[in-house]
Structure 1
Amino acid sequence: MATGHNFILDLMTVLGAAAGGGYLAKTLRQPVLLGYLVSGLVVGPFGLKLLSEANEIKPLAEIGVAFLLFALGVEFSIAEFKRVKDIAIKGSLLQIGITITLVALLATAIGWVEGLAQGIFLGAILSLSSTAVVLKSLTERGEINTLHGQVMLAILIAQDLALGLMLAILPALNQPANLASALLDALLKVLVFIAGAYAFGRWVVPPVIKSVAQTESNDLFLITVIALCLGVALTTDALGLSIEMGAFVAGLMIAEIDYSDQALAKVLPLRDTFATLFFASIGMLINPFVLIDNLGLILGLVTVVMLGKAIIILPIVLKFGYSFKTAFITSFGLNQIGEFSFVLALVGLENGFLSENQYLLLLGTTAITLVLTPVWLRFSPRLADELGNLPGLAKYLRKFRDTKALSIPETIRDHVVVAGYGRVGEIIVKILHSQGYNVLVVENSEAAIQKLRIQKIPYIFGDADSEMVLEKAHLEKAKALAIALPDPASTRLLLKRALEFAPKLDVVVRCHDNNEIDLLTQLGAKEVVQPEFEAALEIGSHLLITLGEKQSIIQSVINAIRTDRYISIRPERGGTLLRKDLKEASLELRSTWVTVENGSPLNGIALAAADIRNLTGATVMAIQKGDRTLYYPKGQTILSSGDRLQVVGEPEELAGFRDLMMGRLLIGSQYNHWVTLTEKSTLVGMNLTDIQDRYNVGVKSIRRHGKLLNSIKGGMAFQSEDCLLLQGERDRVEVVEKLAADGVTDVTDELLTNN
């Protein structure tokens, strides 16, 4: 077969294998990136050897990396970078410097390298993280614009800039006399490139792109953008700097002109295709025989590298004022060895800094760390929460807060909290503000916060799903919460935690996909809005008006669809898909299975009548009745002995649920209601016994700072902003509710006299 045909066959083989591997990974609820890496291993020279010219795939893989960084540059916000510039510059220098120093000293001490120069070279290899893998993982998870996503990308961009300097300086370690000239030469190249790129991006690129766009030729526009991206990338490569750096700078050039969105839309399909080749090419480098022969040593190296880098990065991020959760996710997102460490390792092999055996071990270690990165990114938020709740650490970690800036009136109350100030959140705020309502916005984008400052709208700068941020938002005083976050996982976590702070809060949520509607409703959202369905309802409503239907009938139809969670218009989902959705959500939310016993007060009553979430904060997500399972059960579902309930909640909420199961919380026979104590409430300073004796009303639970306290001692004094679960006769509970709100006392004597 002709050489050209061989290349086409190789290309088809890689793309076909990547498609199959990606599909299998997605089916197994794993990141598609893992599928691409494994597919490269399967078809590569150490697997089935299906490629005849594997080296010809490498240039295409490099194009994929260039497009990844180009797209990042186009989307890059200078305002966002200014917010993280300190950690991008100072933090990256600290991380690289500390990593190189520790690795050089340790490797020299244990004899893994023969001299300090070799140790420094090895430290430089290990100091780099993977821009391509992290960027792809963050994109898949919708976390590019999260605070930890911005911090990670800032550090990665700084590392990419450092790579060019390393390639110029490190080979000169064998000739110390040439070290100063190598450093000077590298700095000169960087300065020349930056100056040239600034001039080119300011005076050449805008008029050229404008002229091409005016031709209204999509083909010509796309070709021009590709030529710009690859041309600048090749320029940096020729200067001895990294291709990544050039592609990123090319993206910045486009980002500053009016046609950036059009350029990005054209490049995205090419980026995804070529990036797939890159990840598959990484998989081809994995030699399973080397892994098997040195499995113990490589697993040890993987553990030391990933744990060591995480330990180095964690305190650095904390030092720059970020929360423990942000620092933890960042440290475990950047603890792999970068794909361009392969380039450094090859230079080290050619210049005698690494032996053949060390080179092969590094390749295997690097490949495994890259494979593990998407897994770490998936589980690190949950692990951060678990560590943050440990008794010994919780008090210490409270000083690392997500709120780096806030502007909240001291007397704020009866306000609406809006989480997320993107396109949807901004419209919500405008509507509420125009009608005179108090609004508090929670956002972690500096660009969005700047808009809020100008408009003098109260805000909190931080992650909306953080407990520290929610404490500042005064949800217990709020009228409602609107959630319009870009990340589905953060949306679920925020909804759950918001109801822990204010169990009766009215929460409206913008969902991202059909499979989230039932989950978010089950977790306690009063309204779940699906934008695509809402657009369809508006179009359908307009058509019905055009066809002569009465407005009242149309509104009735629309309301019925919304009340029924869009069930009548969304595709039906089978039990397998529902089970997968619930399993994925359960990874973020603590869950347990509990069986309804014969003597349980839950036996024989409807789920709605049990009022489980109101009484305990826990939520029933699924019910197993014999051989069938009800996912997201409706309120009219009757509970029976032998039913197994999947319940999600915090440990104290699950403990409260068990109290309910055992009859320690009354169901149905008495009125249960949550109230929040204001600063002027006459109940502040009282205790459980005082309220029981004076008003004959029980206090079954307290939520203080979002934490549920089930074991309430009679002498525990109530504090302002405590949420109390009252239980008793309705008229008595309503009187205590008034006392909780405004301290009114003139009705209590009459009530006590009548009883």
Structure 2
Amino acid sequence: MNSVFLELAIMLSVACVIGYTAMRFRLPLVMAYLLAGVALSAYNLSDSVVLHTLPEIGIAFVLFLIGMELNLSEIRSLGRPIIVATLFQIVVSSVAGFTLATFFGFSGTEAAILGISLAFASTIVIAKMLSERRDTASLYGKLSIGILLVEDLVAIIVMVAITRNLISFGWSTAILMPLLIFTVKAIALISAAFLISRFVLPFLFNKMAKSVELLFLAAITWCFIFTSVAVLAGFSVVIGAFLAGVALASSPYQIQIQAKVKPIRDFFVALFFIYIGSQVDLAGITNSLPIIFGFTALALFMKPFAYLVGLSFFKFRKHTLFQTSLNMTQVSEFSLIVVLLAVEHGFASESALAIIAGSAVLSIIFSSTLMNHSESIYTFMKPFVARFQRKEAVDVLPDAILPPLSGHVVVVGADRVGTVVIEYLKKAKIEVLVLDYNPTAVRRLRAQGYHALYGDVSDSEILANLQLNTAHLIISTAGGTRDNLALLDACRISNVKAQIVVRTDEADQEQVLRDAGADYVIFPERVSGDFLVSKLEDEWPNLHFS
């Protein structure tokens, strides 16, 4: 194929057809994109400009947005559990992968490369899922992102070792100098992001903000410039784009930039998953099915178990332990790059690449399904996961000691809408109990004198502390159907008499939420439309059209 437009037309057409079928069967779209790539792998797309360039832009946009949404100081406060759990998992997965590869007849070096490749989870799958479910600010979301960053840094070190033939010489003094240079570059890159975000970007963006188009263009330009510098310095697109996003995290224009970038991100991300699927060599995979199934099983079961054990040394509740561990059930896009480099430098064979490609596709398909049904799985797995929760588990932020409450209003979510509701209730001198999964928001509310609990609304143990039976009114500003249904289910089980108001971001879920027990369902776009129509009706006699 010589035409970029023809390639795009074919890829997107196949993705749309399979995507529609997946949607009808309520399957994740990620699965559809991967299968579209597998379907297209029979065609000669190995030299495709589209599949070699555009998917990387999708990775950059995903991490750019994640960086903007994260508070880096909170990630840093979780540094110890993140590093300990990640390194523990990498050791366990590498040993397990090496053992399995050796059992199937691979040599020591090639088996070691296959083993370490198993240890990396998919940054783009996890980041996309967290963003779609609005879980980036949750504790397990922050843990997941922190773990991915550590994994990516380890992957970069492995790639440096392969490209400089350090594997041939062993891991002795030969690797010390490259590691030292790598560390210096990392410090320089982070320092540059910090200094530019503090002294340069505010001035530039204040100038550009007079035009929405220029503001968007400036943000994209900054992302590409800093990511390019990171790549030239020997880092990955993931690290560069993430730091570029972090540099804009405190910008007053953050929300506006995110709203503009997200639609573009979705297009490029679709191409990324098509690319991953297209790397599957059906002939090669057919000959390696047993080991592919073995690697997929290790990714789906052993990796999350390793994280469960690693994180159990710290004071996390079982819900956080489970959700964080379940997120890590894939073979990564980085795994493909690591093995591809090993093939190019003579450390691995084409069959190793076929094994990792097949394992990546299978594990991502199963993983995305598991993540979509995580709460149902958690309900089933709760007794097992409870064994790994320490008795003093408090999820880092200590629980508030709440007095018995009666006639209070429960507000779930302290975001922009929730904050407006909370402030109104305070002025009306109505006692309020707030639940939010953002530790910063909870600390702020407690400092202001509110009763505030930290936790996830989908965690039944957290809901039990909200004193729902004595509440006068329950308001959820969460927006997500999953969270709202968890709250409504808890109210139904406890036979709560209070009126329940929920906000939804999905128009087609209004009736579902009413059927589940909501007295009022607020869909913001419909409220805005109704308000506009009422204003037009009031002012219509005074309007003059000429």
Taking structure 1 as the reference length, what is the TM-score of the superposition?
0.66
1:464 to 449, 457, 467: 457
Q: Which amino acid aligns with 1:415?
A: H
Tell me the CA shift for residue 50 of structure 1.
Answer: 6.9
Determine which of 502, 514, 522 is the counterpart of 1:521: 514
* Matching residue's letter, 2:220: I
Change (3 A) 1:461 1:280: same
Cα offset for 1:132?
0.7
Contact 2:457 2:486 (C-alpha < 8 Å) held by counterparts? no
Match of 2:129 in 1: 137
- 1:547 offset after TM fit, Å? 6.1
Return the alpha-carbon distance in structure 1 between the equivalents of residues 33 and 74 of structure 2: 31
Structure number with higher helix proportion: 2
Matched residue of 2:5: which SS?
helix
**For residue 663 of structure 1, what is the aligned residue in structure 2?**
none
- Alpha-carbon spacing, 1:77–1:395, altered in 2? closer, same or farther (3 Å): closer
- 1:309 positional shift: 0.5
Residue type of the partner of 2:296?
V
Residue 363 (structure 2) aligned to one of 361, 364, 369: 369
**Deviations 1:467-504 (CA, angstroms, capped at 9, x unpaired):** 21122222233222212213211210111112323432
CA contact (8 A) 1:173 1:179 kept: no
- 1:167 aligned partner: 159
Which of 32, 38, 44 is the equivalent residue of 2:35? Answer: 38
Conserved? CA contact 2:318–2:385, under 8 Å: no
Contact 1:492 1:520 in 2 (8 A): yes
Take 1:118 and 1:42, find their aligned partners in 2: how far apart are those partners?
29
Deviation at 1:359, TM superposition (A): 2.5
In structure 1, what is the equivalent of residue 147 of structure 2? 155
Correspondence for 1:455: 448
The 5 Å alignment of 1:321-340 reads: 321-340=315-334
Structure 1 Cα separation of the partners of residues 340 and 148 of structure 2: 21
**Aligned ranges 1:102-121 → 2 under 5 Å:** 102-104=96-98, 106-107=99-100, 110=103, 112-115=105-108, 118-121=110-113
> Are the equivalent residues in 1 in contact too, given 2:101–2:115 (CA < 8 A)?
no
User: CA offsets, 1:335-357, max 9 Å, x none?
Assistant: 11111111111122233432332
> In structure 2, how many angstroms separate the alpha carbons of the residues matched to 1:221 and 1:262?
9
Classify the secondary structure of the residue corresponding to 1:320. coil
Any idea what SS the aligned residue of 2:479 has?
Answer: coil
Query: 2:509 corresponds to which letter in structure 1?
Result: E
1:89 aligns with 2:86: no
Shift in alpha-carbon separation, 1:139–1:20, aligned structure 2, 3 A: farther
Deviation at 1:360, TM superposition (A): 1.7
The corresponding residue for 1:721 is: none
1:12 pairs with 2:9: yes
CA contact (8 A) 2:81 2:311 kept: yes
Q: Which amino acid aligns with 1:493?
A: A
Q: Distance in 2 between matches of 1:169 and 1:364?
A: 25
Q: Per-residue deviation at 1:545?
A: 4.2
- SS of 2:435's partner is strand
Deviation sequence 1:681-720 (CA, Å, 0-9, x none):
xxxxxxxxxxxxxxxxxxxxxxxxxxxxxxxxxxxxxxxx
Taking the TM superposition and a 5 Å limit, the aligned residue runs for 1:309-458 are 309-388=303-382, 399=391, 404-458=397-451
**Residue 486, structure 1, aligned to residue 479, structure 2:** yes
Show the 5 A alignment for 1:322-721: 322-388=316-382, 399=391, 404-546=397-539
Instruction: Go from structure 1 to structure 2 and tell me whether the alpha carbon gap of 1:282 and 1:406 turns closer, same or farther (over 3 Å shift).
Output: same
The alpha-carbon deviation at position 217 of structure 1 amounts to: 7.0
Question: Structure 1 residues 82, 461: closer, same or farther in 2, change over 3 A?
Answer: farther
CA distance in 2, matches of 1:295, 1:97: 25
Q: Which has the higher contact order (CA 8 A, sep 6+)?
A: 2
Conserved? CA contact 2:500–2:520, under 8 Å: yes
What is the DSSP-based 3-state SS (H/G/I as helix, E as strand, rest coil) of the residue aligned with 1:412?
coil
Please say if residues 169 and 186 of structure 1, whose CA atoms lie closer than 8 Å, have aligned partners that are also in contact: no
1:398 deviation in Å? 9.4
**Offset at 1:396?**
8.0
Question: 1:544, CA displacement in angstroms?
Answer: 4.2
Q: Distance in 2 between matches of 1:527 and 1:505?
A: 12
Measured against aligned partners, the alpha-carbon deviations of 1:188-227 in whole angstroms (never above 9, x if no partner) come to 222232233333333333333333445x372x44443333
Asked if 1:242 is matched to 2:239, the reply is no
Matches within 5 A, 1:161-240: 161-169=153-161, 171-176=165-170, 177-214=173-210, 216=211, 218=213, 220-240=214-234
1:395 offset after TM fit, Å? 8.4
Question: 1:470–1:233: structure 2 CA closer, same or farther, 3 Å change rule?
Answer: same
Q: TM-score, normalised by structure 2?
A: 0.89
Q: Name the CA distance, whole Å, in 2 between partners of 1:331 and 1:394.
A: 14
Partner of 1:23: 20
CA shift, 1:424, in A, is 1.9
User: Residue 86 and residue 453 in structure 1: after superposition, are their counterparts in 2 closer, same or farther (change >3 A)?
Assistant: farther
RMSD over aligned Cα, in angstroms? Answer: 2.8
Instruction: Please give the secondary structure, in 2, of the residue aligned with 1:410.
Output: coil
Q: What's the counterpart of residue 544 of structure 2? A: none
Paired residue type of 2:34: L
Q: Secondary structure at the match of 1:441?
A: strand
Q: Distance in 2 between matches of 1:28 and 1:89?
A: 39
Distance 2:344 2:45 in 1: 26
1:167 touches 1:241 (CA, 8 Å); kept in 2? no
Q: What do the CA deviations read for 1:660-685 (whole angstroms, capped 9, x no partner)?
A: xxxxxxxxxxxxxxxxxxxxxxxxxx
**Structure 2: segments with no counterpart, 5+ residues:** 542-546
Q: Tell me if the contact between 1:80 and 1:445 (Cα under 8 Å) persists in the aligned partners.
A: no
Q: Deviations over 1:85-134 (max 9, x none)?
A: 44333433333344334544x3587474433x555433321111111112
Deviations 1:446-483 (CA, angstroms, capped at 9, x unpaired) = 12112202211011111123221122222233222212
Task: Report the alpha carbon displacement of residue 162 of structure 1 after superposing the two structures with TM.
Answer: 2.9
CA distance in 2, matches of 1:73, 1:394: 32
Distance 1:524 1:200, change over 3 A: closer
Decide whether the 8 Å contact of 2:312 with 2:390 is kept in 1: no
Letter paired with 1:304 = L
Residue 484 of structure 1 aligns to a residue whose secondary structure is: strand
- Counterpart contact for 1:107–1:113, Cα < 8 Å: no
Q: Would the aligned equivalents of 1:165 and 1:187 in 2 still touch at CA under 8 Å? A: no
Contact 1:325 1:385 in 2 (8 A): no
Say if 2:335 and 2:356, in contact at 8 Å, map to a contact too. no
Q: 1:297 to 1:91 in 2, by over 3 A?
A: closer
Using the TM superposition, name which of 437-446 and 250-259 deviates more: 250-259
| Residue 246 of structure 1, CA deviation | 0.6
Judge which range, 534-543 or 482-491, deviates more. Answer: 534-543
Gaps of 5+ in 1: 549-755
Question: Residue 265 of structure 1 aligns with which residue?
Answer: 259
Deviation readout 1:272-301 (Å, 9 max, x if unpaired): 222221111111112223333333332222
